Structure 1
Amino acid sequence: MSDNSTTTLTGTFATRREAEIAVEHLVQEYGMDRSDVFIEPQSSENSAGSKASGGDVAQAKPQAGSAEEPALNGALLVSADISRDRLDDAEAAFRDAGATNVARK
């Protein structure tokens, strides 16, 4: 939904958990439509972030290369089409969840 009344906000997150918290805040607290928020690896490789956390961390350390090992191949990029009157709130939600490199495009 990119038009004159919206701006795309982006931020990078070290963990999938942080990215999902940011999305949850945007949708639940600020009433954003979930279809206007995207999570993707920052690089070309599939990734669960650059650090393990939450559900990525097993009780015992998984064997390298096993199905239980999270794909930690770099940061996650969250982007959202935000109405201009909610940009400050959305940016605060990104930063509160741990975003770095937050930008308005």
Structure 2
Amino acid sequence: MSTTLTASFDTRREAEMTVERLVQQFGIERTDIFIATAGDENSAGVERAGSDTEAGSPSPEERDDSELEGRVTVSVDLEDEAVAGEVRSAFAEFDAAEVTES
């Protein structure tokens, strides 16, 4: 039986780091992982992080153009229930909120 685990993240960086952990450490196929905004608007999360913060040298100007219109969600389709614990662990590692299973 297949299961889908979904979690939301405050920043795009947390969502991207979670995806990389799932793919690289747990061998989950990228085609089984989906990233979307929690709402209808384009969003980089609710906080600036990573490349959405101020630029480094040689462009030290601060950035204020990040779309902060809501959380970023990551959904993972699983065929193997044994992997669900690993996915939940990766979600927790990167401060996921609102983890649901369907």
Same fold, TM exceeding 0.5? yes
- Provide the C-alpha distance between the structure 1 equivalents of 2:51 and 2:74, rounded to a whole number of angstroms: 19
Q: 1:86 aligns with which of 79, 83, 87?
A: 83
Following superposition, which runs of at least 4 residues in structure 1 exceed 2 angstroms of deviation?
59-63
Q: 1:47 aligns with which of 38, 43, 50?
A: 43
1:85 Cα deviation from its structure 2 partner? 1.1
- Provide the C-alpha distance between the structure 2 equivalents of 1:51 and 1:38, rounded to a whole number of angstroms: 20
- Provide the C-alpha distance between the structure 2 equivalents of 1:95 and 1:80, rounded to a whole number of angstroms: 14
RMSD: 1.1
Matched residue count: 96
Q: 1:75 aligns with which of 67, 71, 77?
A: 71
1:37 Cα deviation from its structure 2 partner? 0.3
List aligned pairs for 1:1-105, cutoff 5 A: 4=1, 6-59=2-55, 60-62=61-63, 69-82=65-78, 83-105=80-102
Task: State the partner residue of 1:66.
Answer: none
Instruction: Name the TM-score, length of structure 1 as normaliser.
Output: 0.86
Instruction: Name the TM-score, length of structure 2 as normaliser.
Output: 0.89
Percentage of matched positions with identical amino acids: 39
Q: What are structure 2's unaligned runs of at least 5 residues?
A: 56-60
